[in-house]
Amino acid sequence: MDKRGNTAAQKTGSASFDTDESRLPGAENRQGKVIALLNQKGGAGKTTLATHLAGEFVMQGQRVTLLDADPQGSALDWAQRRAQSGHGRLYGVFGLARDSLHQEAPQIALQADFVVIDGPPRVAALARSALLAADLVLIPVQPSAYDVWASHEMVQLITEARVFRPQLRAAFVVNRRVVGTVIGREARAALADQPFPALQVEVSQRIVFADSVAAGRLAFEVAPHCAAAREIAALAQVVGEMLR
């Protein structure tokens, strides 16, 4: 089932963990699941994974909203390129880089099957708010031990968030793996020491990702049967299974 889309909005943000449980996600019955892609280190490919995961869920017939919680607004920029290029609506993209994210995302999830949050780098307050909104946190890391070690702050934030949301799940995703190389073994070894699992599905660095972003499209729209599209489909399947 193929729905197409975009759209735009706001930016801002700062927050800290809110211990008022009546205001926390999960205090109400919500229909959809919230997935946050977070890493305090920039360049991990959060926006690419967020936009593609959202698109894959739509292709499965799900109702999806993407929230751009990064003050840089990269997902919003992608949505604007899509609109300017005349491509049809796929899913809604809204800017929500502010400290009310943990209150507003669950409300949005009442009208969606999945809410995907493209989180901010280096903004701990916004990351905390995203964590309090999420059912599942995906931590994209590039395939190097240095990138895994740099995720230590995010691991700490998730551990803190679990005090208030013990049901919060988290997993690492190896992203931007260089095809045809053995780079990544050190990263896998470093991930083995982390408190959260690393998904077996990996996403490689491929030209089609860069080409699709420039046109406001997704890899499966540019080349439906390409390796990049298959990797994203496999990732979406694993994520969906984790949230059942």
Domains of the chain with bracketed CATH = 21-242 (3.40.50.300)
- Please list the pLDDT of the chain residue by residue as tens digits (244 residues): 444 333 333 333 333 344 343 344 444 455 799 999 999 888 899 999 999 999 999 999 999 999 999 999 999 999 999 999 999 889 999 999 999 999 999 999 999 999 999 999 878 899 999 999 999 999 999 988 889 988 999 999 999 999 999 999 999 999 998 876 666 677 888 899 999 999 999 999 999 999 998 889 999 999 999 999 999 999 999 999 999 9
**pLDDT value, residue 197:** 96
Residue 26, Ramachandran bin (φ over 0: left; ψ between -120 and 50: alpha; else beta): left
pLDDT of residue 97: 93
Asked if 53 and 236 touch (Cβ cutoff 8 Å), the reply is yes
Closest C-alpha to 201, from 159, 172, 169: 172
CA angle 194, 49, 196 (to 5 degrees): 15
* Tally of CB atoms within 10 A around 38: 27
Q: How far apart are the first and last CA of the chain?
A: 21
Instruction: Specify the pTM.
Output: 0.86
Per-residue pLDDT at 122: 79
Please provide residue 187's backbone torsions phi and psi, each rounded to the nearest 5 degrees: -65, -45
Tell me the C-alpha distance between 210 and 107, whole Å: 33
**Confidence (pLDDT) at 220:** 96
> How confident is the model at residue 5, as a pLDDT?
37
In angstroms, what CA-CA distances link 65 with 68, 124, 206?
Answer: 10, 23, 25
pLDDT at 70: 94
**What token pair was written down for 159?**
């551990």
Q: Rounded distance, CA 240 to CA 105, Å?
A: 19
